[in-house]
Chain A
Amino acid sequence: DAGVIQSPRHEVTEMGQEVTLRCKPISGHDYLFWYRQTMMRGLELLIYFNNNVPIDDSGMPEDRFSAKMPNASFSTLKIQPSEPRDSAVYFCASSQRTTYYEQYFGPGTRLTVT
Chain B
Amino acid sequence: GNSVTQMEGPVTLSEEAFLTINCTYTATGYPSLFWYVQYPGEGLQLLLKATKADDKGSNKGFEATYRKETTSFHLEKGSVQVSDSAVYFCALSDHHRDDKIIFGKGTRLHILP
Contact = CB atoms under 8 A, between A and B. Distances in A.
Most chain B CB within a 10 A radius of its CB, from A4, A97, A105: A105
Interface residues of A, number: 21
A102 B46 contact: yes
A48 interface: yes
A103 B44 contact: yes
Nearest to B102: A45
Given A43-B103, A48-B100, A101 B45 contact: no
Interface in B2-44: 32, 34, 41-44
A43 B89 contact: yes
A56 B51 CA distance: 24
Contacts of A45: 100-101
* Interface size range of chain B in the complex: 20 to 34
A91 interface: yes
A55 interface: yes
B105 interface: yes
Nearest to B98: A56
Contact of B43 (A48, A93, A100): A93
Nearest to B104: A42
B95 interface: yes
Contact of B44 (A91, A97, A100, A101): A91
Given A45-B100, A105-B42, A106-B43, 8 more contacts: A31-B99, A43-B103, A100-B99, A101-B32, A101-B46, A101-B101, A103-B101, A105-B43
Closest 7 CB pairs of A and B: A105-B43, A42-B105, A102-B46, A105-B44, A43-B103, A91-B43, A106-B43
28 contacts: A4-B43, A31-B99, A42-B104, A42-B105, A45-B101, A48-B99, A48-B100, A50-B99, A55-B98, A55-B99, A56-B98, A56-B100, A91-B44, A100-B93, A100-B95, A101-B32, A101-B34, A101-B46, A101-B95, A101-B101, A102-B49, A103-B44, A105-B45, A107-B41, A107-B42, A107-B43, A108-B42, A108-B43
Interface of A: 4, 31, 42-43, 45, 48, 50, 55-56, 91, 93, 97, 100-108
